[in-house]
Structure 1
Amino acid sequence: MSKVKYYYDSETLSYQKIERKKGRRLGFIALAIAGTFLAGFLLLLVYINLPQIETPKEKAMKRELNHMELQYQVLNKKMAQAQKVLSEVENRDNNIYRVYFEANPIPEEQRKAGFGGINRYKNLEGYDNSDLIIETNKKMDILQKQIVVQSKSLDEIALLAEKKEKLLTAIPAIQPVKNENLTRMASGYGMRMHPILKYRKMHNGMDFTAKTGTEVYATGDAVVKKASRSTGFGNLIVLDHGFGYETYYAHLSKFDVRKGQKIKRGEVIGEVGSTGLSTAPHLHYEVHKNGRVINPINFYHGDLTAEEYDIMLNQSNLENQSLD
């Protein structure tokens, strides 16, 4: 509570109470308000021009931004490492896997293709660290695309590997008659004298002489395409191995399979005989690829040693008389 002040009035010889003027009081109030605003303005100018002065909240936000920038830099390094590993996988894919499975390599421009068209990073512009953020997003998008391309490539390789495995089990690869059961390898592929027609003609297979009843084996996984009697070949079995391969087993004395039956390599399918145009018990064996007859001598890698193969090769090249 403010003190009451008095003054001495010499005319009335008494003390009179000093009354404050309202206008003066309002002036003091206005002056105080103006002084407060001026002081605040001056403090604001000082704050703006002294950036080192930060509030606790600003300090926390700045630390968070610095931490995020560091994390982006770490992420860029990790992506660079991932890119290096992926490049090695791509190199093996193109130069090993796809070569082995006879597939065309994936072009580099397809693997490294960027993103054209509209600016997909426009929403990331206008910030202090926009360049860093945009660059990181670009690297991530390209890396993701490369991973998708490589993943699809590996799916294709897996499918090719499965087909390759089936091919390796299906392709003719062994002798149709075991060595211990052979009397001799009578005639090979090429021009030979026909024993009945008595003139030189193309002999499309190989003749394996053996006793009647000797077991005959499928030379690869297959499905029986034919198991019936024919005019020239007598009792004939034709196996469809897939991948364009077929094998013929002629002059048999007996069938052990039926049409449509699935056969595994090494499985007994019939027995040696002398049916059809034949002069002695033997197996006439042919290999066909995509409808063309090819020399069976190239298809015995599955059960012959190098020495046994050389002996068979020399015998098959002799221009002797065939048995059919």
Structure 2
Amino acid sequence: MNKVKYYYDPDTLSYRKIEPKKSRKYRNAFLFIVGSVIAGSLGLLLLLNTDLFNTPQELALQRELNNYELRFELLNRKMDQMEEVLTNIEDRDNNIYRLYFEANPIPEEQRRAGFGGVNRYKSLEGFNNSDMIIATTQRMEVIQKQMVIQSRSLDEITKLAAEKEKLLASIPAIQPVSNEELTRMASGYGWRSDPFTKARKMHWGMDFTAPRGTPIYATGDGEVTRADNYASGFGKHIRIQHGYGYMTIYAHLSKYNVKKGQKVKRGDLIGFVGSTGRSEAPHLHYEVWKDGDKINPINFYYGSLSAEEFTNMLKTANQENQSLD
């Protein structure tokens, strides 16, 4: 309540009541209203930005938001672990698996490449935690791409491994006549004396002396391309195409145990020792060809001979004696 003010009137020798002007009343009322509005707005703004007067629904939404932030944090920790495991797998893939199978390593920039072009994350913008959501989504997509690339790489390695296994099984790698049946290794690869003309000539294979009817074994996986006696000097002979440029010849046989077009595995019985064709005595003449060239068969017995046996055979093979064909 406003105080009543008085002034002294000397003419009447009495106190008179001071009547306020109407303009002042209006001004005071206006200032009061404006002040009340400002104070009320500040108070309302303060209340809206504090947790003191949140509604139950607002409190529930806040708890849900906090829960999502915690989940995003846990998700990022799991992605840290996934990236560590993926990095380890990628390292082994490039430096062990692909190196062993002679495949080019996958460049790091290809594994880590992001996604270009249009803004893929526009729908995630405009929220309080947009930066966190976008960053997490980007990490997930990069990890997903890394996993796809690594999966394809492992598929390629699996195919290369199968091909490598096939190659190792196809390469001639054992002695065609077992040591138990072998009388001796009569002649090696190189210049030898011809048993009929006594002239010095190139001997393109190895001669294994053994009794007539001794089993002869395929030295690698392949397909029989010939089993006949139409080759000059070889008599009854077998040719096996092993693939990868390799071919083996088994000559002077007494009889066959395979026929043309038949698939064979390393160690399969394919024929028997004889002395057909241009031969001085029962033996097996064995040749190894690679990409159309005749090569020394002694380099292909690592699958059946001990170190001592191989040394003895090498010593005998290097002697320039007389061949048996």
Q: TM-score range by the shorter chain?
A: 0.7 to 0.9
| Structure 1 residue 45: Cα displacement | 4.6
Deviation digits for residues 289-308 of structure 1, max 9, x if unmatched?
A: 22222211111111111111
* Cα distance in 2 between the residues matched to 1:59 and 1:47: 18
Q: CA RMSD in A?
A: 2.0
Deviation digits for residues 71-92 of structure 1, max 9, x if unmatched?
A: 1111111111101001111111
Contact in 2 for aligned 1:196/1:277 (Cα 8 Å):
no
Give the corresponding residue for 1:213.
213
Give the corresponding residue for 1:288.
289
**Matching of residue 90 in structure 1 with residue 51 in structure 2:** no
Give the corresponding residue for 2:278.
277
* Cα distance in 1 between the residues matched to 2:256 and 2:190: 28
| Structure 1 residue 228: Cα displacement | 0.6
The runs of 5 or more residues in structure 1 that have no matched partner are 1-34
Contact in 2 for aligned 1:251/1:278 (Cα 8 Å):
yes
Amino acid paired to 2:46: N
**Matching of residue 66 in structure 1 with residue 66 in structure 2:** yes
Amino acid paired to 1:68: Y
Deviation digits for residues 196-218 of structure 1, max 9, x if unmatched?
A: 34333322211101122111111
The runs of 5 or more residues in structure 2 that have no matched partner are 1-32
* Cα distance in 1 between the residues matched to 2:161 and 2:38: 79
| Equivalence map 1:201-280=2 (5 Å) | 201-229=201-229, 230-280=231-281
Query: What SS class does the counterpart of residue 302 from structure 1 fall into?
Result: coil
Query: What SS class does the counterpart of residue 181 from structure 1 fall into?
Result: coil
Give the corresponding residue for 1:187.
187
* Cα distance in 2 between the residues matched to 1:314 and 1:111: 53
Give the corresponding residue for 1:151.
151
Of 310-319 and 92-101, the range deviating more from structure 2: 92-101
* Cα distance in 1 between the residues matched to 2:200 and 2:127: 90
Query: What SS class does the counterpart of residue 236 from structure 2 fall into?
Result: strand
| Structure 1 residue 43: Cα displacement | 5.2
Amino acid paired to 2:201: K
Give the corresponding residue for 2:46.
49
Deviation digits for residues 233-273 of structure 1, max 9, x if unmatched?
A: 11110011222221110111111110011112212111111
Question: Share of identical aligned residues, percent?
Answer: 62
| Structure 1 residue 57: Cα displacement | 1.6
TM score, norm. by length of structure 1: 0.84
* Cα distance in 1 between the residues matched to 2:64 and 2:40: 28
TM score, norm. by length of structure 2: 0.83
Deviation digits for residues 159-209 of structure 1, max 9, x if unmatched?
A: 122222222222211111111222211111122222234333322211101
